[in-house]
Structure 1
Amino acid sequence: MKIIEHFKRQFALKKLRDPNYRFLFDDNIPDEYVSFDCETTSLDVKEAEIISIGAVKICGNKIVTSESFYVLVKPEGMMEARNVTIHGLRPKDLRNGLPIEEALKQFLAFVGGRPVVGFFLEYDVAMVNKFLKPMIGVGMPNRQIEVSALYYQQEMRQKYYDMVVDLRMASMIKKLNIPDLPRHDALNDSINVAMMYLALQARE
């Protein structure tokens, strides 16, 4: 698997159009990760826009909240009212948000080449890549760590007959016995995920 990932990264590096983003491939930062989350206008990647990005660094077994990242993004299209009730961000809250290109530029500078951690991370990465690929020619090359997959693997080791594992964030947080920050806020969710990741590492 590591060999396959190596060749994937080398292929992506060749497709990189902007050499200023070569730092995304510098993954020699030992024991550092970035937990991140996006809030969006829809759950459909094809039509959704990013309206906020939150991230926090994990260094060793510590969450470095003093090095957190949060940015509001001004969407180009209309927001769905049903999603406003979830994340609480209204059009007027985003009036002074950054254009998505500038928001991603700042976000990537924060992440660097560190592995990224998330909860159902595939969606968040897909949202970033939707706007990133037209900018630089490639999506995020960072190694991805999915906390729900780690949790599932650990839970299945203890199950013999009952094969159902509850992968809802609230259930996982309760089982891991960690604080539950108010959810559907990009920064809070990234901190929640960072706490989940460290709790899962402690259970190994």
Structure 2
Amino acid sequence: MFSFISKLKTKANFSKLKDKNFKFLFDEDKSGELVVVDTETTGLNTKKDEILSIGAVKIKDNKILTSQTFEVFLKNSKEIDSSSIKIHGIRPFDLKNAKTTKEGILEFLNFVGSRPLVGYYLEFDVDMINKYTKEILGITLPNRMIEVSEIYFDKSISLIPQGNIDLRFDTILKNCDIPNMGTHNAVNDAIMTAMIYLKLTKER
């Protein structure tokens, strides 16, 4: 039933595609790769805030393809709040040569293709990206999504039944024995998330 409804939604989404050059987004993925994605934004309001940068890295055969990372900085219409700079470290100067949202989003879509997406609280990142893809192409991302915090929760709940499970990123890193790479930029966060994903899925 779910599969049928999912197919209907995908078909409806495809019918809204403005540029048929991007119909490859709806193709069956045969690459055997996953794309781990992270965004840095001006805030956490998907309706009002904007993307400052997108970082991504590919996984194939249980290996992180560090030679195939993606990073793009996007121009934004608002001043960057000083409190958010403390989180993502992106200063107005860093966006001096940033790309337009259209250029950056289309580059990202070409990098991702129809590969499944992996992320930490991925729904937020995808919602932010969808805000732009709707405007540019008329569609939302059709890619399958894999949430690492859900995998972590499922593994942890069997060890701590009815316990409170801490799903903070730094806690998951620590409990998975993964080194913190420091600066929380989009690419570093994508790589660390990829390491979490591989750690959790290898031990399943």
Q: What TM-score does the superposition give when structure 2 sets the normalisation length? A: 0.95
Q: What residue is the counterpart of 1:192 in the other structure?
A: 192
* 1:46 aligns to 2:63 (yes or no): no
Q: Quick one: distance in 1 between partners of 2:80 and 2:63? A: 36
Give the drift of 1:178. 1.7
More deviation, 73-82/139-148: 73-82
Per-residue CA deviations over 1:56-104 (Å, capped at 9, x if unaligned) read 0001200001011011111122211110111111111101100011000
Matches within 5 A, 1:1-204: 1-160=2-161, 162-204=162-204
- Which ranges of structure 1 fall in alignment gaps of 5 or more residues? none
Give the drift of 1:179. 2.2
Aligned amino acid, residue 141 of structure 2 = M
Q: Quick one: distance in 2 between partners of 1:197 and 1:2? A: 25
Give the drift of 1:30. 4.5
Give the drift of 1:157. 1.9
- Alignment: residue pair count: 203
Q: Quick one: distance in 1 between partners of 2:115 and 2:64? A: 14
Q: Quick one: distance in 1 between partners of 2:88 and 2:114? A: 29
Matched residue SS, 2:127: helix
Identical residues among aligned pairs (%): 42
Q: Quick one: distance in 2 between partners of 1:178 and 1:25? A: 34
Q: CA RMSD in A?
A: 1.2
Give the drift of 1:39. 0.4
Matched residue SS, 1:16: coil
Give the drift of 1:29. 2.0
Per-residue CA deviations over 1:114-142 (Å, capped at 9, x if unaligned) read 00000001110011011110111111110
Give the drift of 1:47. 1.4
- Which ranges of structure 2 fall in alignment gaps of 5 or more residues? none
Matched residue SS, 1:22: helix
Per-residue CA deviations over 1:8-50 (Å, capped at 9, x if unaligned) read 2122111212111111112322531000101011111111111
Q: What TM-score does the superposition give when structure 1 sets the normalisation length? A: 0.95
Q: Quick one: distance in 1 between partners of 2:140 and 2:21? A: 14
